[in-house]
Structure 1
Amino acid sequence: MRLGKIILVVLCFFFNLSFGQNKVHLSAQASFKNHTFVAKVIGIMDGDTMEILYKNTPIKVRLAHIDCPEKRGKQPFGANAKKALSDLCFGQNVTVYGEKYDRYRRLIAVVVNNKKQVVNQEMIKQGMAWHFKRYSKDMAYAKLEVVARKNKVGLWHDINPIAPWEWRKS
């Protein structure tokens, strides 16, 4: 009987330990939502997605309010957008304003680089992104896109640029 109790206690201990680890992981992820923190940019996936390192934990970040040409599928300006994002923040410590998580478990965020530039807005100013109106009602981004279009900056130099959400459909 005593051996049975010991086995039960040991099983409960391991079950609680494992459950506790999962709980910590989930709460750590949730803690970035509506949270501001500083992290180092360690990777650039494309024009609107990066990887940051925060307390030795890599986190994928999707830039809020914007959508960039697709690198995959070789959409025009996809490689340019990736390079522009890299030039703005790769290797830097940036301030991240986490908003929420998307269905791919990426943190949706506004990022400010070490020059105090809002990277999300800079991508639109450089003509490397569209204002992603489906998910953003922030009129500052809409105005920046109008100016970039008017001045034919970046992808707006193209005669008929295709929005990334349209490109992904095809």
Structure 2
Amino acid sequence: MQKSIILFILLFLGNTIIPASFQSTSPTDQLILKVKIIGVKDGDTVEGLYYQLPIVIRLEHIDAPEKKQAFGTVSKKKLSDLAFGKTVTLISKGKKGNFDRNGRMIAEIYTNEKTCLNKEMLKTGLAWHYKKYSTSAEYAQLENTAHKNRVGLWADKNPIAPWNFRK
């Protein structure tokens, strides 16, 4: 139900708030929204407010440590420091956006035209590149650099990927 309400609002209001700097050359290949971040659930999931409608957003391309996992709390705090209380720009694939099986919108989140929170989480070593769902060479390189420099969770001798921890 919530997903259908979100889609309805996005279809009718979404195009009214796209900043020129983020506009796509093809308006049907992505949805761009401005939302205020009102909550941080963990290192890869936030809650935003679009007009008066709360939307749960899953950061695309990354998977952060679970709360009970090593670096889980640190990852959540970093994302909170970067996003909480800020108005951000979401870029989600598809005209109506991209949603996962839990109803979360999957998107890249920008605090400004140059700062992508998804990439910042990888740069600081507080998330993995989620290769199961992303083939991005840029995200792979960001993870490799953090790993090479032993930043964040990569300082651990044997970091466990969240998808293995969940098993």
- The answer, yes or no, to whether TM exceeds 0.5 is yes
The answer to whether the 8 A contact 1:126-1:148 is kept is: yes
Which of these residues, 136, 139, 143, is aligned with residue 138 of structure 1? 136
Which of these residues, 38, 47, 50, is aligned with residue 51 of structure 1? 47
Identity %: 50
- Relative to structure 1, the CA distance from residue 23 to residue 42 in structure 2 (aligned partners, 3 Å threshold; closer, same or farther) is closer
> Deviations for 1:58-89, whole angstroms, at most 9, x for unmatched residues?
00000000000001xx1000000000100111
Which amino acid in the other structure matches residue 5 of structure 2?
H
- Relative to structure 1, the CA distance from residue 115 to residue 154 in structure 2 (aligned partners, 3 Å threshold; closer, same or farther) is farther
Q: How far off its partner does 1:113 sit?
A: 1.0
TM-score normalised by length of structure 1: 0.80
Point out the structure with the larger helix share: 1
Q: Give the alignment of 1:90-129 within 5 angstroms.
A: 90-99=84-93, 100-114=98-112, 116-129=114-127
Aligned residues: 147
Which amino acid in the other structure matches residue 83 of structure 1?
K
RMSD of aligned residue pairs (Cα, Å): 2.2
- Relative to structure 1, the CA distance from residue 46 to residue 23 in structure 2 (aligned partners, 3 Å threshold; closer, same or farther) is closer
Unpaired stretches in structure 2, ≥5 consecutive residues: 15-28
Secondary structure (helix, strand or coil) at the match of 1:105 reads: coil
Partner of 1:88: 82
TM-score normalised by length of structure 2: 0.82
Unpaired stretches in structure 1, ≥5 consecutive residues: 1-20
Q: Give the alignment of 1:14-25 within 5 angstroms.
A: 25=5
Secondary structure (helix, strand or coil) at the match of 1:50 reads: strand
Which of these residues, 41, 56, 59, is aligned with residue 60 of structure 1? 56
Q: Give the alignment of 1:63-78 within 5 angstroms.
A: 63-71=59-67, 74-78=68-72
Following TM superposition, the consecutive aligned residue runs of length 4 or more in structure 1 with deviations greater than 6 angstroms are: 21-24
Which amino acid in the other structure matches residue 62 of structure 1?
R
Distance of 1:115 and 1:82 partners within structure 2 = 23
